[in-house]
Chains A and B, each alone.
Chain A
Amino acid sequence: EAQVTQNPRYLITVTGKKLTVTCSQNMNHEYMSWYRQDPGLGLRQIYYSMNVEATDKGDVPEGYKVSRKEKRNFPLILESPSPNQTSLYFCASSSHTVPETQYFGPGTRLLVL
């Protein structure tokens, strides 16, 4: 089944404890992206990757790191999480073939205490 998977789906952690949220897609997509969604603020892009080894900042990259060493994986790293990074995180992927539809993962709900 074609899908974008995220792990973990739910995470409670404490301030300052490094964490990684994994994202993997099995559709051979070139493009991948991370978003966070917060009530009243909508969806905001964190980082995106047009292809392997090509990453760029989105709207809210501060406090996050990403890497794209292989096509299928695009992990999101929080080196020192803070409470303001409590949010719902979505990973998405797309091919560069028109209509370039992004497929979103199921989301990761993160709580930083």
Chain B
Amino acid sequence: QKEVEQDPGPLSVPEGAIVSLNCTYSNSAFQYFMWYRQYSRKGPELLMYTYSSGNKEDGRFTAQVDKSSKYISLFIRDSQPSDSATYLCAMSDRGSTLGRLYFGRGTQLTVWP
């Protein structure tokens, strides 16, 4: 069993929909939780990160961490066609977003106009 599980989708939604992307994990030592976005034929880019439990909001994006359930989520409000990409969750058991990182398989999202 992988340490980080993520449903690969694909997920297809209409423009304006609220999107929910999720990952579960098994290692209770994870402290930093990250979401990367990867457009087709490009390298990933860091979208958001959260330390420990709680919520973090950045524009249309909200990241949530529930350490008691070992479950993290990324919500996208008012989704746009430009949000179409693969979203990868990643986790770290070090005191930062760097070092040994554990990635989910990625969820492919398509937002259609």
Option from B46, B99, B102, B104 in Cβ contact (under 8 Å) with A50: B99
**A99 with B100, Cβ < 8 A, contacts A40-B8, A90-B44 known:** no
Number of interchain pairs (Cβ within 8 Å):
63
Measured between alpha carbons, how far is A102 from B49 in the docked complex, in Å? Answer: 12
**A58 with B100, Cβ < 8 A, contacts A43-B44, A101-B46, A104-B43 known:** yes
* Contact A45 B98, beta carbon cutoff 8 Å: no
Residue total for B at the interface (Cβ-Cβ under 8 A): 23
Which residues of chain A (31-59) have a CB below 8 Å from chain B? 31, 33, 40-45, 48, 50, 56, 58-59
Q: Determine whether B88 belongs to the interface, using a CB cutoff of 8 Å to chain A.
A: yes
Q: Determine whether A107 belongs to the interface, using a CB cutoff of 8 Å to chain B.
A: yes
Measured between alpha carbons, how far is A102 from B103 in the docked complex, in Å? Answer: 14
**B86-113 interface bits toward A, Cβ cutoff 8 Å, 1 = contact, 0 = none:** 0010100000111111111110000000
Measured between alpha carbons, how far is A31 from B96 in the docked complex, in Å? Answer: 12
Could you pull out 24 A-B pairs where Cβ atoms are within 8 angstroms?
A33-B98, A40-B8, A42-B8, A42-B103, A42-B104, A42-B105, A43-B90, A44-B103, A45-B100, A45-B101, A48-B99, A50-B99, A56-B100, A58-B100, A99-B49, A100-B97, A100-B98, A101-B46, A101-B97, A102-B46, A104-B42, A104-B44, A104-B45, A107-B42
